[in-house]
Chain A
Amino acid sequence: MEKQLVQLTVNGEEHDVVIRPNQTLVEVLRENLELTGTKEGCGEGACGTCTVLLNGKPVRSCLTLAVEAQGKEIVTIEGLVSNGQLHPVQKAFIEHGAIQCGFCTPAMILTAKALLDESPKPTEEEARWAISGVVCRCTGYAKIVEAIMAAAGE
C-alpha cells in the first residue's frame, strides 16, 4: 500500500497531504491537518457526528475516502468563522442553548448551514428532516431546532 500525495481544499485553503489510500476523510482532517473540530463517533455512518460539507452538501467523512475528496470543496466547523465572527447558525446555537455536551454540535451546525444555504426559510419539519441523520445523544433536539429556526429568521 503506497502512500500518495493528494491536494485537499479545506475551508478555502489548499493542503498537500501525504496519505494512505485506506484513510478516511475524518482521519486525514483530524490527524494530518489537525482540524479536530470534526468528531468521529460510531465510524459506521450511523451517528452523523463526522459530518462535513463536500461541495456544499453534508456527508459522512468517516465513510468518505480521503482520496475521493480531491478537487472538491471541503468545509469543516473551523471554516465557518469569518473575520473573527461566528456564523449566524453558530450564534443562534449559543443563544438558544442548543449545545449540551457539544459532540454532535459541529455536525448539527454544518447540516443546518447546508439546509439554510439551500432553502433560507425552511419549515420546522424540513429542519427536523435535514438533521434526522445526526444523533444528539443528550437528546437536545428541541433547542437545536429552535436555534435553526431562529437563524433562518435572521
Chain B
Amino acid sequence: MRLPKLEHFQPESLDQALELLGEHSEQAKIIAGGTELLVSMKQGLLAPAYLVNLKEIPELSVIAHDDEKGLRIGALTKLAALIESQVIRENFPILAQAANQVAAPPLQQMGTLGGNLCLNTRCFFYNQSRFWRQARPPCYKTGGEVCHVVKGGNRCYAVYQGDMAPALMALEATARIAKKGGDRVIPLGDLYTGKGEKPLALEPDEILVEVQVPQSAMEGGGDYRKLRYRGAMDFPLVGVAAVLANDGSGMCSKAAVALTAVGMAPVLVEEAGKLLQGQRVTDDLVAHAADAAHEAARPVANIGSTHSYRRKMVRVLTKRAIENAWGRE
C-alpha cells in the first residue's frame, strides 16, 4: 500500500516545528512514531500535504523526576523507553504496565507516549481501506450524515482506545501543549472532547509536548487491566486503570478509577473515587465502585466483541484493578 504524496519536514527544535505548523497548519500533520498516522494515510483517511516529523527533537523525549516537581515525560518518549525506565518502574509502575500492553514489542519501539495519548477514535466502519468504505455512504467521521453503528444516531460514536490515557488520568496527570507564542497546561482529561469526529482539543498548530504527574501520585499503588482477544497487538476492548493510596491505618486515603475503550473519550469515574476515599476497602465497597464504573461506561458495537459483553467486563476488570492496586499499596 502506497502513501499519498507529501512533503516531509525534519525540524531540529520545538520552535522550528511550531513555526512550520503555524505556516501550514490545516494542511500539515505531526508525525511521531507514525504507527497510526501512516496507516490512516495509506487507507485514504488522511492526506496531509506536509508531515512535520518530531523524531529528531531531543528535548521532547526526556523523562525527568524530582521530589518537588514530580514526573515529567516528553511526548516523544517511546513506549519501550517508558517500559525500561528505572524511574518509572520504581515510582510509577502502572505507566510501564500500561505501556507494555500496547500492541507488541516492535510497535513499542516505534510508538510514542504522545502518539498513544493522541490516538484518533476508532470504528469498524472507519478504520478500513478506501475500497472497503466505498460500499457505504460516508459516515459522520468521514464527513457524511449517518452512523453505521448506532441506527438513527445523530453523531459519531467512534471509540477512544488509547491505553496510556486512563493510567495517566488516574495519576492526575496534566498535559503541556505548545503553540507559537505560548504554552498551556491542562488536566489530561481536558485533552479529549468526547466527540467521535474530532476527539482531541488540539488546534492544528498545537503540539502536545509533555505530560506531568504530580509527586503526590507516587503515594498510591496502581493497576491497569486490559480486555482484548489476543495477548498482543490488539487495541483494548475495555481498559481500566485504578490507583489507590493507603493512609497507613488501613483506610483508603485516595482513589481514582479511569476507563478506556468504552466511549468517545477516556473517562475518569469520579463516583468510584468518592466511594472508596476515606473508607476501609471491603469486598462490598469494591463491588459498589465497580458498579459506578459500569454505570459510567457507554460502549457501542463499533469494535470487537459485543457492547453488552464489554460493558459487563468493565465491572469485572474494575474490581480486579482496584483489588490489585490496593494489594500493591
A residues in contact (CB < 8 Å) with B: 1-2, 20-24, 27, 43-46, 48, 51, 57-60, 62-65, 67-68, 111, 129-130, 132-134
Kindly provide the distance from the CB of B61 to the nearest chain A CB, expressed in whole angstroms.
14
Residues of B within 8 A of A57 (CB): 80, 106, 109
B4, B31, B39: most-surrounded residue (chain A CB, <10 A): B39
Kindly provide the distance from the CB of B28 to the nearest chain A CB, expressed in whole angstroms.
13
Identity of the chain B residue whose Cβ is nearest the Cβ of A57 in the assembled complex: B109
Residues of A within 8 A of B39 (CB): 44-45, 63
Question: Contacts A21-B8, A22-B3; is A129 near B105 (CB within 8 Å)?
Answer: yes
Kindly provide the distance from the CB of A95 to the nearest chain B CB, expressed in whole angstroms.
25
Identity of the chain A residue whose Cβ is nearest the Cβ of B43 in the assembled complex: A44
Residues of A within 8 A of B34 (CB): 63-65, 68
Q: Which of B7, B110, B231 contacts A21 (CB 8 A)?
A: B7
- B105–A130 touching, CB < 8 Å: yes
- B55–A68 touching, CB < 8 Å: yes
Q: How far is the CA of A46 from the CA of B107 in the complex (A)?
A: 9
- B231–A64 touching, CB < 8 Å: no
B2 at the interface (CB under 8 A from A): yes
- A21–B6 touching, CB < 8 Å: yes
Kindly provide the distance from the CB of A45 to the nearest chain B CB, expressed in whole angstroms.
5
Kindly provide the distance from the CB of A117 to the nearest chain B CB, expressed in whole angstroms.
14
B316 at the interface (CB under 8 A from A): no
B residues in contact (CB < 8 Å) with A: 1-8, 10, 31, 34-35, 38-39, 42-43, 51, 53, 55, 80, 103-107, 109-110, 231-233
Identity of the chain B residue whose Cβ is nearest the Cβ of A66 in the assembled complex: B8
- B107–A133 touching, CB < 8 Å: yes
- B105–A1 touching, CB < 8 Å: no
Residues of A within 8 A of B80 (CB): 57
Kindly provide the distance from the CB of A34 to the nearest chain B CB, expressed in whole angstroms.
18
Question: Contacts A57-B109, A59-B109, A60-B35; is A22 near B232 (CB within 8 Å)?
Answer: no
Q: How far is the CA of A58 from the CA of B103 in the complex (A)?
A: 14
Q: How far is the CA of A1 from the CA of B1 in the complex (A)?
A: 18
Identity of the chain B residue whose Cβ is nearest the Cβ of A20 in the assembled complex: B5
- B8–A133 touching, CB < 8 Å: no
- B104–A64 touching, CB < 8 Å: no
- B1–A44 touching, CB < 8 Å: yes
Residues of B within 8 A of A43 (CB): 1, 42
Question: Contacts A1-B7, A64-B34; is A111 near B1 (CB within 8 Å)?
Answer: no
- A65–B232 touching, CB < 8 Å: no
Residues of A within 8 A of B7 (CB): 1-2, 21
Residues of B within 8 A of A21 (CB): 6-8, 51
- A132–B110 touching, CB < 8 Å: no
Residues of B within 8 A of A27 (CB): 2
